[in-house]
Amino acid sequence: MARTDGQNLTYRIVQALGVAIVSGAYSVKNPFPIEADLCKQYGASRSVLREAVKMLTAKGLLSARPRQGTWVQPEENWNLLDPDVLRWLMERKPTYALLREFAQVRLAVEPRAAALAAEVATSDMKAAIRTAIAQMAEADRDEEDPLPSDIAFHIAVLRASGNRFYSQLSGVTESALRISIRMQNRYKGVRRASVADHKKISDAILAGDAATAEAAMRYLVQEALDLINKADSAAGSDLRQKVRSGHN
Amino acid sequence: MARTDGQNLTYRIVQALGVAIVSGAYSVKNPFPIEADLCKQYGASRSVLREAVKMLTAKGLLSARPRQGTWVQPEENWNLLDPDVLRWLMERKPTYALLREFAQVRLAVEPRAAALAAEVATSDMKAAIRTAIAQMAEADRDEEDPLPSDIAFHIAVLRASGNRFYSQLSGVTESALRISIRMQNRYKGVRRASVADHKKISDAILAGDAATAEAAMRYLVQEALDLINKADSAAGSDLRQKVRSGHN
DNA sequence: AACAAGGAATGATATGATAATTCGCCTCCG
DNA sequence: CGGAGGCGAATTATCATATCATTCCTTGTT
């Protein structure tokens, strides 16, 4: 989907400004520029620039008033659950704190989603879950990257829950899961066990066993959360480099 | 906060179009108009109109291309967790399905938030929780509307969790909670018991008892979910009139 | 010192023109 | 007859410029 994928100038500016904002590039010392300056900086007309700013305003990142200029909103007003915002944050500032908080969201939602999926999943949805598991097993056998199928599994479960908010999280989740799971997979021992753990969830869902599915998913996500906490206490809080140096 | 609160023309149009879109006003039979027509319809200039459309695009409601025009995105692409989008949906199309799905989100998140709050809440946050409970009890005694303090309580707990995503939900939640809780409160018997139930959660959080807080919150929200399911099976699926006829 | 008036900075709105994209039609060639 | 290529039109994207509205800041008056 990727609504802000840089086709046209406006979206490229949204992207650039969005990343700059969540990276903390603007502050009291370096306030957000006025329209005229931004136009010069990006070589764009006022229309384009204003439209970009409006999109960021719609995501809660900016606010503007005549004579007062445009300014970055306090972080608590950002729409963290907007796919773009979360992606910008995860790609540029994947702090342990953010990963942990996101893992807590997963811990809250994914077990419930698994339970619901066990109860209401359509055959299409079940097929998607089964496929993801099969590909995970295959990747594990062939020593390939299990990340894509791992993500596909979690997204399939969220969708299969039949809850639109949960499904929504799958979109939000994509980029966050990528970083989150990659981190988890860097521990080979954990990875091997992980395939079996995922299969257990899948089996329970396919069998319509909500309680088992919920418990198994809770175990898996709790494990991810524990790993983040462990890594956090073992290291600093900015893991940009560590994550990027992971394979692929 | 209410970013689209109708101060200027642009935001008024965002509001009007947003409501129209989520209400299903546009379809194959009645496709989304082209810029020129919308300008005429709202008596606005192209700049303003394009900026409004861009904001709705940022929220996942619209998409546009040269020569193809602007069209409404399929519902699964809407940013349901955007405060504006959810508010528009809840105010115009509060179907039982949507309320149920939202209650499931609450069921997933709020117990965890209560548990976290018990562990990490600052004294400020604890004070907010205590205040909300006190006002709830007072409203109950004086036969006033317990809705505002009820909402304040749930929001205070979400914030006290220290998890930014949970806090985020409190903003998203405000309008949804309003409809959700109002519905719950229409049953007087439930309401009376409800104050005690809330107090139990509050006490556990203030005492730092995470497990009890979590269980008590789960019970409360599960009750809300059950109520929605009960009402759903007893009635049709559009409850606009019923909710509006509730007191206040 | 308090207050009022006016100027200036900045976003909000309006208008008109041009560019880019893509769909549908038409023509011309095979 | 069919298909490829081109041409025209529709629609958004971008640019440029002008004016309005809001509000901060200065300045002057009492």
CATH code, A37: 1.10.10.10
* Residue A36 near residue A42, CB atoms below 8 Å: no
Same structural domain, B162 and B206: yes
Q: Please choose, from the candidates B68, B213, B196, B219, the residue with its C-alpha nearest in 3D space to the C-alpha of residue B140.
A: B196
Same structural domain, B48 and B118: no
Whether the predicted pLDDT of B240 surpasses 60: no
Instruction: Return the pLDDT at B246.
Output: 37
Q: Which two tokens stand for residue B84?
A: 């504006």
Which of A77, A103, A129 is the C-terminal boundary of a domain?
A77
Same structural domain, A41 and A105: no
ipTM value of the model? 0.90
CA of A15 to C1' of C2 (A): 49
Contact with chain A for residue B177, Cβ under 8 A = no
In chain A, which residues have their Cβ closer than 8 Å to the Cβ of B170?
none
CA of A67 to C1' of D29 (A): 27
Whether the predicted pLDDT of B215 surpasses 70: yes
Q: Please answer yes or no on whether B168 and A81 come within 8 Å at the CB atom.
A: yes
pLDDT digits (tens, 9 = 90+) for B61-83: 999 999 999 999 999 999 999 99
Contact with chain B for residue A55, Cβ under 8 A = yes
**How many whole angstroms separate alpha carbon A101 and alpha carbon A122?**
31
Q: Which two tokens stand for residue B80?
A: 């349901």
Phi, psi of B70 (to 5 degrees): -115, 140
Q: Which residue has the higher pLDDT, B185 or A172?
A: A172
**How many whole angstroms separate alpha carbon B63 and alpha carbon B49?**
14
Query: Can you tell me the mean pLDDT for A84-112?
Result: 92
DSSP character for B45? -
Same structural domain, B19 and B109: no
pLDDT digits (tens, 9 = 90+) for B172-189: 777 777 877 777 666 656
CATH number at residue A146: 1.20.120.530
Same structural domain, A39 and A154: no
In this structure, is residue B89 part of a structural domain?
no
Contact with chain A for residue B57, Cβ under 8 A = yes
In chain A, which residues have their Cβ closer than 8 Å to the Cβ of B163?
101, 104-105
Same structural domain, A155 and A207: yes
Query: Can you tell me the mean pLDDT for B154-163?
Result: 96
* Residue A61 near residue A19, CB atoms below 8 Å: no
Same structural domain, A142 and A218: yes
Same structural domain, A162 and A51: no
DSSP character for B95? B
Same structural domain, A64 and A106: no
What is the dihedral angle through the alpha carbons of A203, A207, A213, A216, rounded to the nearest 10 degrees? -30
A8: which residues sit within 8 A by CB, 6+ positions away? none
Which stretch, A207-216, B95-104, B139-148, has highest mean pLDDT? A207-216
Instruction: Return the pLDDT at B170.
Output: 84
Q: Can you give the residue range of the structural domain that contains A71?
A: 9-77
Instruction: Return the pLDDT at B189.
Output: 60
∠ Cα B204 B140 B173 (to 5°): 65
CA of A66 to C1' of D28 (A): 26
**How many whole angstroms separate alpha carbon B86 and alpha carbon B102?**
10
Whether the predicted pLDDT of A245 surpasses 60: no
**Domain count of the fold of chain A:** 2
* Residue B89 near residue B79, CB atoms below 8 Å: no
Question: Where on strand C do bases come within 7 A of a protein Cβ?
Answer: 8-17, 19-23
Q: Is B81 helix (H, G, I), strand (E, B) or coil?
A: coil
Which of B25, B44, B77 is the C-terminal boundary of a domain?
B77
Same structural domain, B37 and B157: no
Count of CB pairs separated by less than 8 Å, A with B: 116
In this structure, is residue A89 part of a structural domain?
no
- Per 3-state DSSP, chain A is made up of helix, strand and coil in percentages (nearest 5) of 70, 5, 25
Q: Please answer yes or no on whether B79 and A79 come within 8 Å at the CB atom.
A: yes
* Residue A158 near residue A141, CB atoms below 8 Å: no
pLDDT band at B3 (very low <50, low <70, confident <90, very high): very low
pLDDT digits (tens, 9 = 90+) for A29-61: 999 999 999 999 999 999 999 999 999 999 999
The residue to which tokens 């996101």 are assigned: A102
- Which helix (H) or strand (E) segment holds residue B71: the answer is strand B69-72
Q: Please choose, from the candidates A80, A161, A81, the residue with its C-alpha nearest in 3D space to the C-alpha of residue B100.
A: A161
In this structure, is residue A44 part of a structural domain?
yes
Q: Which nucleotide is nearest to B37 (CA to C1')?
A: D11
**How many whole angstroms separate alpha carbon A77 and alpha carbon B168?**
8
Q: Which two tokens stand for residue B133?
A: 């409970």
Q: Please answer yes or no on whether A3 and B47 come within 8 Å at the CB atom.
A: no
